[in-house]
Amino acid sequence: MTVPLDVDSSSGGLPSFLVRDDVLCWSRRENGLVGFGELARFTASGPDRFLEADIWWRHLVIEADVTDPLELPGTGPVAFGSFAFSKTSDFESRLILPEIVVGIRDGQAWLTQLTLDDVELTEAGALATLAGWLSGESGTRESAAGELTAAGGSGVGHPTSSQLLSFSGPKTTTTASQLGDGKVTLESGSLSEAAWKQAVAEGVAKIRTGKLEKLVLARDVVATLPDGVNAAKVLQQLASRYRECWTYGVDGLVGATPEMLIQVEGRTAQARVLAGTLDRRDAEGVDGSPMEYAERVLAGSEKQRHEHEIAIQSLTTQLAPFSEAMNAHSEPFILELPNVWHLASDVKAELADIEGHVPTCLALINALHPTAAVCGTPTLVAGELIRELEHMDRGPYAGPVGWLDAAGNGEWGIALRGAIIESPTTVRLYAGCGIVEGSVPDAELAETWAKFRPMLESLGISN
């Protein structure tokens, strides 16, 4: 059941609901979705993980009794998901059906409560359940409902987010910024810096043989915060500082990705492709404006533009069989983020009717992933070389992360600029670089540190 929800414009929108470490999150600017609780979960691994998840979801929602007066993307039944990058990964891809979802889209807010039982859902019950999740005390839900009714004026009413959040209590651990000096450690993961640079050199050598055009190599580092990891604080920091990115949180996977693998709304699909990166710190002290520097060094780089063209060609070629019309930028634009600049291109397609139905977002992901932006090209050759050179299981890093609804709408980013919270005190961060013939190992290593920066800063770690 979905009901409208009044949200105080001064509250910060959707990110103001990021008050729990276990929240499911998909947020950009003031918009997005957050989920609380878990009613059902699907897990899968292997090459058919996307299609198996698609079948599970369609079977789950096909007989659902849905009350949804808004009928917007993200209203009604919604599942959040995270998928492994590789079909050989030990990581279990998952879709999670939450109990409560709060959504905001272009100033319109709503609350959805879901149940797998025959219990009758009511607006008052949904508001009370949300208040209970925000407060962390399920026993307070009935009394909270009474207070929310009063706050709404007549009848049940629609409380503002600030009224709902007034029920929240302490739910998170000590923040990184409160840790004592010397307690936080940051160590290399699967490969040392020297070993990773050697892997880059080996990748360049393979490219020069003509076996592949591009290879994406990733590395990991492990942060230890003895006083605990505050996941909600991390998401709040990312949502606040990286407003042009999509902040995500699913089962301990957190981050803020600038890259949209596929967004489906009705019959329209959109994607944002990134390839080509420049650290903003490189512009310090140079003549002219920072953007002029970025245009000269990034947009004017033959290496960077070649890498970007490979990524665009990869996505549009894979998307074409599902589209009756497609439009992509003829020239990439420069995406400005707090830590880096990227060469970026947006792609828009009208989906074709294939055998009587429009392809679902998970079916599209099955065809699109992995793109050259996160794997390389040719894909099979690059994938094999990644497993040989990285010496790690990427897990959900660089895999699809996002949400889908019962109507076929969904948003799936690529899990970049992120980390996995592996324990209450340890976080594994990932970053990767596109390797082409002109790549230099030292420069690629420096680029990984620029890409680690969003997560390090959100953890309170300076680098």
Residues labelled as active-site residues: 214, 259
Give the torsion sign (CA, 35, 31, 109, 83).
negative
Structural contact between residues 164 and 147, judged by C-beta atoms closer than 8 angstroms: no
Cα of 355 vs its chain's centroid, Å: 31
Alpha-carbon distance of 189 to 184, in angstroms, equals 15
Where helices occur in 251-405 by DSSP H, the ranges are 290-294, 302-319, 361-368, 379-390
Residue 269: name the closest of 357, 184, 364 by CA. Answer: 364
Q: Which residues contact 121 (CB under 8 A, 6 or more apart)?
A: 1, 67, 113, 115
CB neighbours (10 Å) of residue 267?
A: 15
Residue 233: name the closest of 223, 241, 222, 221 by CA. Answer: 241
Strand locations in 98-229, DSSP E?
100-105, 108-113, 185-188, 214-224
Alpha-carbon distance of 21 to 228, in angstroms, equals 12
Partners of 260 in beta bridges: 272, 413
Alpha-carbon distance of 257 to 374, in angstroms, equals 12
Backbone angles phi, psi at 54, to 5 degrees: -60, -45
